[in-house]
Amino acid sequence: MRRLDRYVGWTVLASIALVLVVITGLDAIAAFIDEADDISETYTFLQVSLYILLTLPGRCYEYMPFAALIGCMLGLGQLATTSELVVMRAAGVSTGRLVWIAMRPAILLAVLGFMLGEFVAPKADQWAETQRALAQNPEESFAGRHGIWNREGNTFLHFNALEAEGVVHGITLLQFDDNLAMSTSLRARLALYEGDYWTMKDVVQTRFSSWQTSRERHDSLRWDTGITPELLTLVVVEPDQLPVRDLYRYSRYLQLQGLDSEDYQLALWRKLLQPAAIGGLVLVAISFIFGPLREGTMGFRIFAGVIVGIVFRTSQDLLGPASLVFGFAPVYAALVPVLVCFLFGMLLLARAR
């Protein structure tokens, strides 16, 4: 029986891995073509290649639920096409046991995916974004295409790139008074974090009043703020690319600042529920093989898997903004598609028995 478990498990796992490689590879090629438009003397072919390579872990994590769905359908579909599933059931292996055997690779994938999304992909994505920003804007201190905005009270901060050592490039600070009138504008080529404050280099500071403006230049200037390199690291990449611990910490920071944190709460719940999403999609794939797609062709199974995956992803993309517009908790936007997958899969399995 253990040999049977290993055979079915490895068949499903190999199919999932193959689908994940194909989907991630196609997405990486499309991203490379898109980045190739920005190739210049400073942002070279090798740097574009490095950027795509560094973003591969994040792409793998993003497509894991989709690959688990289609891969499981292909693996079990191959066993169904060769009548191996029929022989197993005729030999006394119950449908429930076959479902558990096929689910185990999905559980392994969910664990590996969570570790990848928590420890590998965020660091790689942050470094990729920093290196791209530095390569595309080596001399332009303030005109960064991929710059990031952040806010602390009435101060708005824009920067082009952040290095891991606590070095920020291309800083713009805009300070407003209580009447929302700009009081100070400051630009600096870079800033160094000194432990509890920042030291800005090559600073141009402009002060505004109701009747005049004044400009000052400084070789260096101290900036006292609660903003740290760790905090800025969180805004370099999209919320979906951050680890769970940072999503929770930054959403709390935004709430304390009186800012909108729903995007980060939604990304947090999606991260936490991704293992369950993988399990739900795999259950749907298993129910299809034991049910309506038992005699289907390989091409039709792939088509059905793509449709289910698109519907699942579309429902996530619609419910996420809907939670922001209508004000219901982001956890429901992340949880509802997963519950629907589990209910739909169990219903099909019950009818197939």
Looking at the structure, give the CATH architecture of the domain made up of residues 154-225: Sandwich (2.60)
Q: Which helix (H) or strand (E) holds 47?
A: helix 45-54
Residue-level pLDDT at 317: 87
**Residue segments in the chain with a per-residue pLDDT below the cut of 70:** 1, 138-146, 292-296, 352-353
Taking the mean position of all CA atoms in its chain, how far away is CA 11? Answer: 28
How far is 256 from 146, CA to CA, in rounded Å? 27
Sign of the torsion angle spanned by Cα atoms 12, 14, 19, 21: positive
Torsion angle of alpha carbons 132, 138, 140, 142, nearest 10°?
A: 50
Residues 238-272 pLDDT 10s: 898 899 999 998 898 888 878 888 889 999 999 99
Taking the mean position of all CA atoms in its chain, how far away is CA 316? Answer: 13
pTM for the model: 0.86
How far is 147 from 232, CA to CA, in rounded Å? 12
Edge-to-edge order in the sheet of strand 167-176? 148-152, 155-163, 167-176, 182-193, 198-208, 213-223
Residues 201-229 pLDDT 10s: 999 999 998 778 999 999 999 999 888 88
Residue-level pLDDT at 141: 47
In the chain, domain spans: 2-135+261-352, 154-225
> Which amino acid does the sequence have at 174?
L
- List C-alpha distances in Å: 126 to 57, 116, 169, 264, 272: 12, 14, 15, 16, 21
